[in-house]
Amino acid sequence: MLLQELIRNVQDFPKPGIGFKDITTLVGDAEGLHDSVIQMLAPFDETKIDAVLGIESRGFIFAAAMAFHLNVGMVPVRKPGKLPYETISEKYELEYGQDSLEIHTDAVKSGDRMLIVDDLLATGGTVEATIRLVERLGGKVLGCSFLVELDFLKGREKLSGYQVESIIHYQSE
């Protein structure tokens, strides 16, 4: 079974012109969830990972399963105002305007070897801000693992110097 066939493309969501890659159909399938988690970890097989970081909210699904599989902890990076304890935040550019992401200041210790996980790499702004959060806390970013990459948005170019892995690639909308 091809994992890509389990992803549903929803045209014009959340706004006209966007082809939204709906992963709920993939994670709702036992084999789809299992195989995607194993494949997202495979490139980092030989790497010692201290914790897996997931980006709100679909990144949590994969990051938690990967951390469970590795028997390490999972760190959430969240939208503003969601994390209850002391946080640091980083802004990133959206198509129109800015948004920001937060992490608990004690979620990453100096020298921690972190794997960053999200469902999808588009322009790369989200993961770039996440890398800055980890590095500000003294963590080491081992790499970034995505289920889907929208190659035509060239997000990978923002991440030079980091190992970037994706299972499923789209060359166009």
d(CA 161, CA 19): 29
The reply on whether position 121 binds ligand AMP by CB under 6 A is yes
Q: What is the DSSP letter of 84?
A: -
Nearer to ligand AMP (CB atom), residue 106 or residue 157: 157
The reply on whether position 145 binds ligand AMP by CB under 6 A is no
Burial 12-47 (b: 16+ CB within 10 A, else e): eeeeeeeeebebeebbebeebbebbbebbbebbeee
Can you tell me which of 39, 105, 123, 163 binds ligand AMP, judged by CB under 6 A?
A: 123
58 annotated active-site: yes
Identify whether the C-beta of residue 26 lies closer than 8 Å to the C-beta of residue 33: yes
5 annotated active-site: no
CB of 92 to ligand AMP, least distance (A): 7
Nearer to ligand AMP (CB atom), residue 65 or residue 120: 120
Catalytic (active-site) positions: 58, 95
Q: Which residues of the chain form contacts with ligand AMP (CB under 6 A)?
A: 18-21, 55, 58, 118-126, 155
